[in-house]
Amino acid sequence: MIVITCVSLNINAQTNKNWNHKQLIEPAELAGMIAKKQALPLIISVGPGAYIEHSIAIGMVDNPEGIEKLKKELANHAANTKVIIYCGCCPFEHCPNVRPAIETLKAMKFSNYQLLNLTHNIKVDWINKGYPVTTL
């Protein structure tokens, strides 16, 4: 039991180093905002595709070219713009994109950002639930 607790704490410490629970937004909340056509935040996909309706496809940011593309997009917005980042390729602990995206937001002094809480992937946590997707 002690070993399991230590492993669990280690994973939580790794996650909390990059963002806290207040910086996570649940898929149902974002889907509700889109459905109600509220004033939407800037929704940015830093994964292999932009599946969420109204999101901007930056592409993967696990490389310098991807980071530069993200920086160019963010440069068009004020630092207090509400931004939601998502990837959805895999669970956070394996994702190569969410940490560089969050670090870029921090480095550019963005203060009003959240990470979409896709605990499994975009298919399981968004598409399979019937939430709004882009038309192909």
pLDDT in tens, 41-81: 999 999 988 899 999 999 999 999 999 999 999 999 999 99
Amino acid in position 24: L
Task: Quote the tokens at residue 89.
Answer: 């390729």
User: Is 2 among the domain residues?
Assistant: no
What pLDDT does 21 receive?
A: 83
User: Is 27 among the domain residues?
Assistant: yes
pLDDT greater than 70 at residue 36: yes
Res. 93 pLDDT band, cuts 50 70 90: confident
What pLDDT does 104 receive?
A: 97
Q: What CATH number corresponds to the domain at position 95?
A: 3.40.250.10
User: Is 136 among the domain residues?
Assistant: no
What pLDDT does 46 receive?
A: 97
User: Hunting for tokens 């979409």 — which residue is that?
Assistant: 116
Task: Give the domain extent around 34.
Answer: 20-129
Number of domains in the chain: 1
User: Is 123 among the domain residues?
Assistant: yes
User: Hunting for tokens 């963005």 — which residue is that?
Assistant: 110
What pLDDT does 38 receive?
A: 75
